[in-house]
Structure 1
Amino acid sequence: MALWRAISEDEPGQKWAALFHEYWPNYRAWWLREGETARPTYVESRRALQTHMPEIVPLWEEICELAGGGDQAARFLSFHTPPPYLADCSQAIWPGREPVMVRNYDYDSRAFDSLILRTKWQGRGVIGVSDGLFGVVDGVNDAGLAVSLTFGGRRVVGTGFGVPIILRYVLQTCETAEEAGEALARIPTHMSYNVTVLDRKRRYLTAMMAPDRPAIVTHAAVATNHQEHVEWVSHARFTATVERERFLLQRLTLHRDPEEKFIGAFLKPPLYSTAFAHGFGTLYTAVYRPRKREMEVRWPGTTWVQRIDRFEEGVRYVDVPGATPAQV
């Protein structure tokens, strides 16, 4: 059984601080796994935030104080050039009368927050699946903008931000897909990622971000784990990224599945992954409805609905098919 929590706190406070102190030992070990000198200094991290995401610097300073004011915690929370990490994931926009964003998050359950966080930081309402307690891997804001990420399937690692803080920045500062696309095109990322956004006016885009070349902003409705073409062949074969992309495109173009059938496909092969032993099992499926400011987190047989204006704190114990107890 996997334990999930839903926590709400308008401004950074004691709830967030308690979560940080609970998670920090494991995050610190991960952040230091290549040695402290492999990570940017405090000054470098602060300068990068001020240059590329100045609007959230006061928020970063506030949560750093709640985290205890330590040098390592502040550098970690900047998400500036963290250790490399891989996730799989599939995501798509179902283009109905009320479009929805659907995604699977495939990752290592031992390195996952299992946390839905509702905040109103800097006056902006956001709900999303937490990563590192400051970033998110998907979410929606009170302006009706939803975002989600997938790994881009490339080995290149550079200087830039971990993508979860980039998604947090987009949700904190953007209201439309166009604004999000502009932000995603200019903020440097340390690895290659595909970020899909959908706004309340039915507009969507996918930005293919990379550390070594300009971002490519497209009107793609589907993203898996490669960009314009496969560059990391062994990873593509192992994760079946091309097969998953083709499957989703067929569902959207040839079959025109109704909404519920389309969402249900994410909870079955080939989209649903049981590769938990390799750190790529499907931990959850998320469904975002931007006009309603609503998210659903789904597992086979279980759905947890949350809305920004009717958020309910609580816990859920969920079965994760294919995972062993040690993996959840």
Structure 2
Amino acid sequence: MREIFSDIIQFRGSHYDFGYMQGKQLKNSLIVKNRKKFWKLRRPRFTVNIQETKQILNRYAPGMWDELEGLQNAMEAPMNEILRDFGGYRINTPKSGCSIFTGKDYLIRNYDYHPKTYEGRYSIYQPSDQGYAVIGPQQRVTGRMDGMNEKGLAMGYNSIHRKKPGAGFVCHMIGRMILETCASVDEAIAFLKEIPHRHSFSYILLDKNNETYIVEATPRSVDIRQSHVCTNHFELQKDENKRILDDSYNRLNAMKKHKSEVSDVHTAFQMMNDTDKGVFSKEYKNWVGTIHTSAYLPKELKAWIALGGNQEPVVFDFEKWLQGENVTMEKFHGQIDTDLPFAHMD
């Protein structure tokens, strides 16, 4: 068992300035040093075309290119390296887990991954140039692994597989673009039908209208269904599923089993975060250990998060922040039952 932390990054301003500020934070950080060590050991099996990436980012989310330029100028790194590490287009992502449970007015997500990928950055950002304000944990700095925007649209995603990749965006950049550009579930569904996908993922969406939709997205097809539980397999595009799905079905069945015990967002959060309910995972060495549990309440515009299991969540009042009241904390802490290294700490 070890104590870990996440930094809170809050910013109001242009995308370029947001990128520049973060680039200054990151320039000599463990996150960047660990990325450089990774690429010394393993050559990337993909190439990044700068002009192609700029063109497609400007089509779907113009502010993101400005943010990447801000990162580049602050970090004084070549743009091809910035795009390789932070661009989110035509790159590869490792396998992961994740479970999501929703009620009519909340979305709760267990983020299951390997600790060495976790950067410990929780972002609250309000653009001044374009796009909606978004709260949620970062992945690869520019991406969002889950989150909610100022309109009350909440999003999380679950990995399905990485076989037969397409020429498209990866999950965390798609998550960021959904939250910055879409005001509702309907808009997010239309966006996911249009944008090119790199890998196969389920995107789980909830807004103030109380209905949860799951978008099964691959480089080949996009299908829509409704459910309040989701893990790491498709229900519609079954031909896309991996052959071994025991862990995915075990977590799905655990959520269904405990559903009758859930009376509100608090008991739902406990069901996901308690280590004895069958949803929380300690399989960190297998890339599917639960690092954080997050919750989003669209009508209240509140966001919860806890690092590790059996924890009380930290609660952020996003509505007050949008009105100009900054968060006073600089970090929040938790405990995780692993001795594996974290990207921002080791």
Q: Same fold (TM over 0.5)?
A: yes
Q: Show the counterpart of 1:82.
A: 91
Please report the RMSD computed on the Cα atoms of aligned residues, expressed in angstroms: 2.4
Q: Is 1:203 matched up with 2:214?
A: no
Larger CA deviation: 290-299 vs 46-55: 46-55
| 1:14 Cα offset (Å) | 5.5
Q: 1:265-295 deviations in whole A, cap 9, x for unaligned?
A: 1123411101112222110110111122211
Distance in 2 (alpha carbons) for counterparts of 1:7 and 1:151? 26
Shift in alpha-carbon separation, 1:24–1:182, aligned structure 2, 3 A: same
Distance in 2 (alpha carbons) for counterparts of 1:6 and 1:117? 6
Tell me the TM-score normalised to structure 2 length. Answer: 0.83
Distance in 1 (alpha carbons) for counterparts of 2:166 and 2:335? 37
Q: How many residues align?
A: 318
Q: Show the counterpart of 2:117.
A: 111
Distance in 2 (alpha carbons) for counterparts of 1:82 and 1:42? 13
Amino acid at match of 1:92: F
Q: Is 1:257 matched up with 2:262?
A: yes
Tell me the TM-score normalised to structure 1 length. Answer: 0.88
Q: 1:129-182 deviations in whole A, cap 9, x for unaligned?
A: 001111010011111111111102453322211111111111111111100111
Distance in 2 (alpha carbons) for counterparts of 1:73 and 1:48? 18
Distance in 2 (alpha carbons) for counterparts of 1:149 and 1:206? 9
Secondary structure (helix, strand or coil) at the match of 1:88 reads coil
Q: Is 1:318 matched up with 2:326?
A: no
Shift in alpha-carbon separation, 1:14–1:302, aligned structure 2, 3 A: farther
Amino acid at match of 2:182: C
Q: Show the counterpart of 2:311.
A: 301
Percent identity reads 18
Shift in alpha-carbon separation, 1:164–1:151, aligned structure 2, 3 A: same
Distance in 1 (alpha carbons) for counterparts of 2:41 and 2:317? 37
Shift in alpha-carbon separation, 1:325–1:317, aligned structure 2, 3 A: farther
Q: Is 1:276 matched up with 2:284?
A: yes
| 1:220 Cα offset (Å) | 2.4
Structure 1 unaligned spans of 5+: none
Shift in alpha-carbon separation, 1:172–1:64, aligned structure 2, 3 A: farther
Shift in alpha-carbon separation, 1:55–1:203, aligned structure 2, 3 A: farther
Q: After TM superposition, what 4+ stretches of structure 1 lie above 6 angstroms from structure 2?
A: none
Amino acid at match of 1:231: N
Distance in 1 (alpha carbons) for counterparts of 2:144 and 2:172? 5
Amino acid at match of 1:50: N
Shift in alpha-carbon separation, 1:46–1:14, aligned structure 2, 3 A: closer
Shift in alpha-carbon separation, 1:160–1:323, aligned structure 2, 3 A: same
Secondary structure (helix, strand or coil) at the match of 1:65 reads helix
Match of 2:103 among 76, 79, 94: 94
Secondary structure (helix, strand or coil) at the match of 2:183 reads coil
Q: Show the counterpart of 2:182.
A: 174
Secondary structure (helix, strand or coil) at the match of 1:220 reads coil
Structure 2 unaligned spans of 5+: 322-326
Distance in 2 (alpha carbons) for counterparts of 1:31 and 1:183? 33
Shift in alpha-carbon separation, 1:29–1:170, aligned structure 2, 3 A: farther
Q: Is 1:289 matched up with 2:304?
A: no
